[in-house]
Amino acid sequence: MTLYVYAITNDSHPLRLDDLKGVGDSPSELRVVRGDSLCAVVSDAPEDLSLARRNLEAHHTVQERLWSDGVTLPLGFGFVAQDEEAVRTVLEQGAEQYAQRLAELAGRVEFNVKGVQDEDTLLRQIVEESDRIRELNEATREGRGSPEQRIALGQLVAQEVQARQDALAERVVTTLRPLGDAENVSPPSQQYFVNASFLMADEKSQEFTDACARLSEQLPEGAELRLGGPLPPYSFA
C-alpha cells in the first residue's frame, strides 16, 4: 500500500494522532512507522491525490498538531512512499542526518513574508518620477506616436518596474535578515516582488512580527507585506 508521509519525528514525540484524519476524499487513519530512533507519521495514500482545499487543510492540520507537541521535520504536500518498509529504510539510513536537523530546529519557527504591489499605483509613480517615460507616455497616448516610441516606452517601464521591485525585495530581506537564523528566498514572481521564509527562535516571534509591520508601513504607496506564521519550518526541514 502506497503511503502518504507527513513528517519525521524523534521517537520521544507524543504523536497525538487519535482525532486527526489524513488526506483524500475517504481519509484513512494516521499511524506511525518506527525506525530505530525516529518515527514517520503516515496514512494510506489516496489514488487520486489532488491539490484540493480539503487535502491541503488536512495536511497542514496534521503538521501543526505535530509541531505544537514537539519538534518535527514537516514534509511538503504530496510526499509518498511505496510502503512501510520503504519508509523504515529511509528513517534508518538517514537517522544521523535527520536527528541532527531535528536538534537544529528545536525551539524554532518559520515566518513567510510576501510583498505585493498595486500595479496601477506603481505605474503612476514611474510616470510621475521619470521625465523620459512621462514624455514618451504623452507622445504615445491614445495610439499616437511612432512604433519606435511605443517600444521604447514599454522597455523603459519594464526596466523601471523590475529595478524598483528588486530594490524593495533587497530592502525587505536585508532589514529582516538579522532577526532570523536562516532564510530561504524564492525567485520573485508576477504576484510577489518578494517571497521569503525566515527561520528564527520562537521567542523572537513577536519581535519579527513587529518589525514586519513597521517595514510594511515604510514601503512606498501601493506596496505592502503579508506575513504568515509562526509555522512549522517547512522551508528548512
Do 110 and 233 touch, CB atoms closer than 8 A? yes
Q: Is the pLDDT of residue 134 over 80?
A: no
Residue 120 has pLDDT above 90, yes or no: no
The residue whose grid cell reads 527561520 is 199
State the cell numbers at 40. 514517520
Grid coordinates representing 181?
Answer: 537564523
Say how far residue 98 (Cα) sits from the centre of its chain: 21
Average pLDDT over residues 117-126: 84
CA angle 94, 229, 208 (to 5 degrees): 105
C-alpha cell at 174: 536585508
Task: Report the share of the chain in percent with pLDDT over 70.
Answer: 98
Banded pLDDT at 29 (limits 50, 70, 90): confident
> Among 115-119, 138-142, 152-156, 203-207, which stretch is predicted with the lowest mean pLDDT?
138-142
pLDDT at 68: 87
pLDDT digits (tens, 9 = 90+) for 63-74: 989 998 899 999
Domain ranges of the chain: 3-106, 109-236
How confident is the prediction for the chain on average, in pLDDT? 87
Structural contact between residues 46 and 23, judged by C-beta atoms closer than 8 angstroms? yes
Cα 128 from Cα 151, distance rounded (Å) = 19
* 61/129: higher pLDDT: 61
Q: How far apart are CA 62 and CA 41, in angstroms?
A: 9
Question: Nearest-CA neighbor of 3 among 25, 26, 22?
Answer: 22
Mean pLDDT along residues 29-36: 90
pLDDT tier, 175 (very low <50, low <70, confident <90, very high otherwise): very high
How far is residue 32 from each of residues 46, 128, 200, measured CA to CA in Å?
A: 17, 61, 28
